[in-house]
Every structure is written in C-alpha cells, then in structure tokens.
C-alpha cells in the first residue's frame, strides 16, 4: 500500500462520511486503487452487496466514489439500533443477534477485533486507504473498548485528520478539547485539521485558524464550504433534522411526504425523489403535516411494531387512513409495507417483546416476524395493475431486500412484483401488494424510486391528478447523476484543501 489517511471527528455528524467519499473520488481520479473502510458503523441506512451481505450505506457511497463494488470488508461491524439501548449486531454482513449496549460494549465488541484485523490485512492490496472513524475518539467512558477510532489508526498505522463542523458552533474549542483528551501517542497521530461546513467570508475566520495552529502546533489543511448545489447520500438520521430536508418553493408543484418513523431506516430510498425539480419532499411527524400532500410514503423501519404503535399514538394512523380513503396514494417500503397490512405478529420476539399489534389495514395481508433475515439484491418484473403501474406491466425493476418478516396476502390484495433473480440466482416468487384501486401499494424492494422512468411516470401521474401537465425527466440516470456529484465534491475539496500537504501526509513524504 502506498498511502493511508483516517478521518476522525470532534463529534458525530461533522461530515466525515462525505469528506471520506470526496477523498476516495480524488485518489480514484488520480489513478489509484482506493479502499474505503470503517470498522464499526452504527446506522439504519444499510445496503445489500451482490453476495447478499449487509453493510453500512456510507461505505457503499465511498466505494462508488472510489470506482469499486461495495464489499463487507469495508464495514465488518454494523450496528442497527432496535431501541434506545439495543442494536442488532451484523458481523461481516450477517446478523448475529440483538444485544443491549452493556452486553456489546463489555463483552462482544473487542472480540470483533480479529475480524477487523483480517479486513485491514485485505486492505493492503489497494494503493490508498481512506478510513473513517465514528463519533468522537475521546469518549472517556468507551475509550478503553474503542474499536473504531484511535485503536484502528494504530492497527492500520494511519495518520489522522480531525474534522470539526463549524456550522454547529464551538468548532475550535472542540478541536482543542479533543486533542487535550487524547493520549500523547494518539495526539502524535493527528497530523492536522479540516474545518467543515463553513458559511461566510473566509477572511473573517482566518484569525481563528491562526490561533488554532499556534495553540496546537498542527496545521489546518483547509476550510470546506457548506454546499447545497449537489447532494451526497447520508446515512445518519440526524440529517433529517436539517431545514433543507423540507423542500419547498412555488416551482415544486408535487408535495410528497415521508413519515419520519422513530426507527426509520434506509431513508436514502427517497434521495432520487428529492432531486426531482418539481417535487417538494419532506419528513413529517405530526398528522396536520400530511394536509395537501399528493403522495404519502411510509418508509422502512428497524422496529416495525414499535413504529406502528407510534403511528397510532400520534394520530398519524387515523390521518393516513382518512387520506387514503379520500384517494391520496400511499406507498410503503419494507417495514412501511408491513405496516400497511391488517396485523403484525412477532410470536418469537424477533423485533420486540410485543407479540402483536394492528397495522393500518389498507392492504389485506398479515406479516409474521421470523429470526431469519432476508438480504438480497433482486431483479423483479412488474405484475401489479393500477394507475401507477399499468404502463410498466412486465417491465424489470432492480432493488435490494433487507427484512425479517414474512407476509401473507389475503384475497383483496394482489402482488406488485414477480421476483425473477435474487443474489444472482433464478427464482420465481411474488413481492409486495396493491389494493384493488391501485392507490395503496407496498414492496420489500428498497431502491424502488431509483428506477428513473417509473419515478418520473409516478410523478406525472400525480401531476395529472392535480390537473397539471406532465413534464419530461430532467435527469434520467440516477447513477450517472451520483457520479457527477462525486466529481463536484472532489472539485470542492481540491479547491478547499492544501492538496500538497494532504498528499505529503497520506503518502508519508
């Protein structure tokens, strides 16, 4: 291996994942083979690889930016929160079991170091490694059991850049404080700082940067601006709290709302919808926010029964049912699909201690949760009918499945898809369900809205329903658009960072 770099942060959500993706693209553009890596990821946005294994979405994005296929060795440990203090532990793409925080941190996480070390050895066949940390490296109550920050930097012999988010305030103090809490040998691994998400006049910030360098004796490699001209997929649900995730404007004539479930997962399913020029997409948590919506989406969930109970307690259930009865289209993805049914059963406690609860009853079906997890890339043909599928009957869609429930349809529900391939193997199985009117539909397939022609067709059907003329797609290739955005991100970083200094750190010159 010719070079390595590790990005650690002063806290969560400072932008490490996006910056790592940008560095992956830069070194890929420069002709290097690049391997992104994060030893342990806590996220509900995940992805299924070609061999049917599950990994964090951030490393999938970084792999795309690096021009290679996602591989679970890029993210050997994935934690998927199921409650306030418990997570499903996924090791090398396969689920182990649910663990509470005490069991994981005190008994298990250090046992994963052997697997992590094997992945680091595999990484050596690449020319450049871009490694990402998690949270803060100086959480003193967890530091002795850390398997994602400084321990990994030492194992990989990787120099570290510390990233701070200046948009949230207190960035300089957080940098100085982080250094103060590091051990001496850890502090020596930190080769500089990146100030991220800056808005304003850089000249006004310069005295603060000078102070930081004088106080720490370490360089600021650059200040990365807050950008909105393009979008890089994010995995942290904190991203949903930002105001720009409720897109408005008079030019956005179609209002699509996504229910922000407490355990929402794979919200990147809706990035392609949000990018459409005439779509105002927002994440909502209260019934009145559904008013005047043209389409309601119930997303995936890591704890479907608990989220179904949230809908009932909040009044969202009654509101969704009322709007569905008035003709508002409803789409459910994965856990959202399950919630659309009549009943949710969990006799073995797979997801929760609650044995059963009712669903919305908008689709005639019942879901039973089982311990075996379905994780596949899938190819499917449209077999459902109705206003949103009719023109696509028989056409092929691509997506991926991540679920633990098995759904049985009643006589008033018809399948949406016929799955013809799973993880490279030929099959012949149905997926999803649609009501008789074709206005309520659900599927286990993530990535549904990344099918470009259907996404535009769906939006145009919504336009026609409002008396608006259809419009042609502004961008008909979601993957091509992401590739352009990775290039734009690389350009921003090249213009913001001291690239000569960065290369000297990465390649130890």
Give the residue numbers annotated as catalytic, written as ranges.
Answer: 334, 446
Residue 19: partners with Cβ closer than 8 Å, 6 or more residues away: 7, 163, 194, 196, 224, 493
The whole-angstrom separation of Cα 272 and Cα 482 is 10
CB of 285 closer than 8 Å to CB of 260: yes
What's the rounded Cα separation, in Å, for the pair 346 and 454?
34
Give, in degrees to the nearest 5, the angle at Cα 163 between 160 and 169. 155
- Could you give the dihedral angle defined by the CA atoms of residues 87, 92, 96 and 97, in that order, rounded to the nearest 10 degrees? 10
Q: Convert 307-345 to b/e letters by CB count within 10 Å (16 or more is b).
A: bbbbbeeeebbebbeebbeeebbbbbbbbbbbbbbbebb
| DSSP at 346 | -
Strand-pairing partners, residue 440, are 330
CB 137 within 8 A of CB 150: yes
Nearest 5°: the CA angle 275, 377, 294 is: 35
Contact 104, 87 (CB under 8 A): yes
Instruction: State how far the alpha carbon of 495 is from the alpha carbons of 69, 222, 263, 490, in Å.
Output: 28, 9, 38, 9
**DSSP string over 391-446:** GGTT-EEEEEEEEEEEEEE-TT-B-SEEEEEETTEEEEEEE-EE-TTSSEEEES-B
Task: For residues 302 and 288, give the distance between their C-alpha atoms in angstroms, rounded to a whole number.
Answer: 25
| Alpha carbon distances (Å) from 14 to 11, 49, 55, 134, 477 | 6, 27, 21, 10, 30
80 pairs with which residues across the strands?
A: 88
Three-state secondary-structure class, residue 366: strand
Mark residue 400 as left, alpha or beta (left: phi above 0; alpha: psi -120 to 50; beta: remaining).
beta
DSSP code, position 468? P
């Amino acid at each position: 291996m010719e070079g390595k770099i590790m990005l650690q942060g002063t806290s969560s959500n400072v932008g490490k994942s996006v910056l790592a993706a940008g560095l992956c693209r830069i070194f890929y553009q420069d002709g290097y083979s690049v391997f992104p890596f994060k030893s342990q990821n806590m996220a509900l946005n995940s992805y299924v690889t070609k061999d049917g294994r599950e990994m964090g979405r951030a490393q999938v994005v970084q792999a795309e930016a690096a021009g290679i296929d996602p591989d679970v060795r890029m993210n050997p440990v994935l934690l998927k929160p199921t409650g306030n203090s418990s997570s499903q532990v996924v090791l090398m793409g396969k689920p182990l079991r649910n663990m509470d925080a005490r069991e994981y941190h005190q008994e298990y996480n250090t046992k994963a170091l052997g697997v992590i070390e094997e992945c680091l050895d595999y990484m050596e066949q690449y020319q450049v490694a871009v490694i990402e940390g998690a949270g803060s490296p100086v959480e003193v109550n967890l530091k002795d059991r850390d398997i994602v920050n400084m321990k990994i930097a030492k194992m990989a012999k990787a120099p570290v850049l510390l990233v701070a988010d200046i948009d949230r305030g207190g960035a300089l103090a957080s940098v100085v404080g982080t250094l103060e809490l590091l051990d001496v040998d850890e502090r020596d691994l930190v080769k500089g700082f990146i100030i991220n998400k800056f808005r304003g006049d850089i000249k006004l910030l310069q005295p603060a940067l000078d102070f930081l360098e004088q106080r720490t004796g370490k360089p600021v490699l650059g200040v990365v601006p807050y950008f909105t001209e393009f979008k890089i997929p994010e995995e942290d649900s904190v991203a949903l709290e930002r105001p720009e995730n409720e897109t408005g404007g008079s030019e956005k004539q179609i209002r699509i709302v996504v229910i922000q479930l407490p355990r929402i997962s794979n919200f990147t399913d809706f990035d392609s919808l949000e990018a459409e020029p005439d779509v105002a997409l927002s994440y909502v948590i209260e019934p009145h926010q559904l008013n005047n919506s043209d389409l309601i989406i119930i997303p995936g969930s890591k704890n479907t029964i608990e989220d179904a109970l949230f809908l009932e307690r909040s009044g969202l259930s009654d509101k969704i049912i009322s709007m569905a009865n008035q003709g508002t289209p409803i789409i459910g993805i994965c856990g959202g699909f399950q919630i659309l049914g009549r009943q949710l059963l969990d006799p073995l406690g797979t997801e929760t201690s609650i044995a059963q609860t009712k669903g919305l009853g908008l689709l005639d079906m019942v879901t039973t949760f089982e311990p075996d997890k379905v994780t596949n890339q899938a190819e499917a043909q449209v077999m459902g009918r109705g206003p949103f599928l009719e023109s696509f009957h028989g056409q092929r869609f691509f997506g991926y499945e991540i679920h633990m429930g098995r759904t049985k349809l009643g006589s008033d529900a018809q399948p949406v898809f016929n799955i013809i391939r799973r993880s490279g193997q030929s099959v012949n199985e149905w997926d999803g369900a649609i009501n008789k009117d074709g206005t309520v539909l659900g599927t286990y397939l993530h990535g549904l809205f990344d099918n470009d022609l259907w996404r535009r067709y769906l939006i145009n059907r919504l336009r026609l329903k409002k008396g608006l003329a259809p419009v042609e797609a502004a961008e008909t290739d979601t993957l091509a658009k992401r590739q352009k955005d990775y290039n734009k991100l690389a350009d921003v970083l090249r213009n913001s960072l001291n690239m000569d200094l960065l290369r000297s750190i990465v390649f130890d010159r």
